[in-house]
Amino acid sequence: MQQVHQHQFGVEHYYIPFFVVVPSAPAYVLDSDETYTVEVTSSVHTQFVANGNLTVHVYAASTPGQSTNHEFTYDVNLGDVKSAIRSRSLDGWLRYFMGEARDGFIETRVIHAQLKFKFSGAKTAVFKPGMPFEGHVYVMYDDDQALTSDKLAGATITLRPVVTSTNGQMKTLSEIKVPAKGEYLNHHQQEDGNKYSKEYDNWMEHQIEDVKFNQFRATGVYNFRFSVPKDAKSMRISATYKDGDGDKATAELQAVPFYSAKEMYAHVETSTEYGQLGENVVIHLRSNFGFQVYSYVVSSSVK
C-alpha cells in the first residue's frame, strides 16, 4: 500500500542586493546606564563604498504624559573609511544607488539595575546537629537577568552563621567569604625561612582558591558548606554582597533542626562528582551513633 501526500508551495527567485544594513546592539542595558550604543554596518557585495544617508530609529515604551521625541546626528569619519579599505583616496570607490533603501532591526532589553540576592530553596532550612550543612546563595538582577562575569569578578560575599544552643546561648561560627578576583584568603607573610618556598605555597593556594570560586564568578551562584555544632537548637545565616560598582545587597536564612525522637542523625554524601562506568564511587557516611551494618541502593538513569 502506497501513500502519496501532495503539498503546494511557492518558489521565488532570490537575488543578491547591492548592499545590506546590519545593526548590532547589546542584548540588554541597565536602566541606570547613561548611554545606549548602536553599531550599524553596511556591506556592499561589489567591494565598493556605498554613499548614502543613515537613519536610526529608537523605539521605547513611554510613560503616559512623557515626551520621548529626540533627534540624533551621526557623522562618519572618512579617515576611518580610508583605513578600512586601505586606500589614501576614495576616488573611484563610491557607488551611488539612487532610491535604494535597506532596513535592519535589532532589539535590546532594558532591565532593572536593582540586585536580587537570596538563598536558594525554602525560606526555612533544616539542619542536623553535629552534621555538615550545605546550601546555595545566588545574585542576579531584579528581573532574573544574570550579572556579567566582569561584575562578578569584582564582587565579594560574606556569610555569617549564628547558632543558638540548647541552653539559650548564641554562638557565631567562622565567617565564610568569597573574595574578589585577584584577592586571596590565604597568603603567607614573608618571614624567616625559604623565600621561594613561601612564594610557591602562596601560588598553589591561590590556584586552589581561583578554582574554588570560579563557579560563582561565572554564574553568580555560590555553594557553601560548614559543620553545625552538636548542641545547636536553631540557626541564622546572614549574607552580604558587595562589588566594585558600589552595589550592595543582603540576605538572611533561618534554619531549624531535623526532628528525631532519639536525636540520632546520619549524613550521606559522595565526593565523586562525575561517575564513570567501571570506576568506583566514593561514599561518605557520618553519624552521631554507632552501627555495624548499613544497606545502600544504587539507582541510575539511561539516556
Residue 125: pLDDT above 60?
yes
Query: Domain count of the chain?
Result: 2
What is the model's pLDDT at position 217? 93
17-21, 211-215, 228-232, 286-290, range with the lowest pLDDT: 17-21
**Cut 0.75: pTM above it:** no
Q: Print the domain residue range for 11.
A: 1-111
β-pairing verdict for 49-50 and 94-95? parallel
- List all residues 6 or more positions away from 237 whose beta carbon is below 8 Å from its beta carbon: 119, 135, 159, 160, 161, 162, 252, 253, 255
Kindly report, residue by residue over 172-222, the tens digit of the pLDDT.
999 999 999 888 776 555 555 555 556 756 777 777 788 889 999 999 999
Residue 181's domain is classified under what CATH number? 2.60.40.10
Last residue of a domain, which of 111, 140, 161? 111
Instruction: Quote the CA–CA distance of 174 and 167 in Å, as a whole number.
Output: 20
Query: Which is more confident, 279 or 45?
Result: 279
Instruction: Quote the CA–CA distance of 268 and 283 in Å, as a whole number.
Output: 7
Cβ-contact 216, 146 below 8 angstroms: no
5-19, 93-107, 186-200, 246-260, range with the lowest pLDDT: 186-200
Specify whether 240 is located in the same domain as 259.
yes
What is the model's pLDDT at position 290? 86
Percent of the chain with pLDDT over 70: 76
Percent of the chain with pLDDT over 90: 34
* Residue 245 maps to a domain: yes
What is the model's pLDDT at position 277? 83
* Residue 252 maps to a domain: yes
216: nearest Cα among 140, 269, 270:
140
Specify whether 130 is located in the same domain as 93.
no
Specify whether 89 is located in the same domain as 120.
no
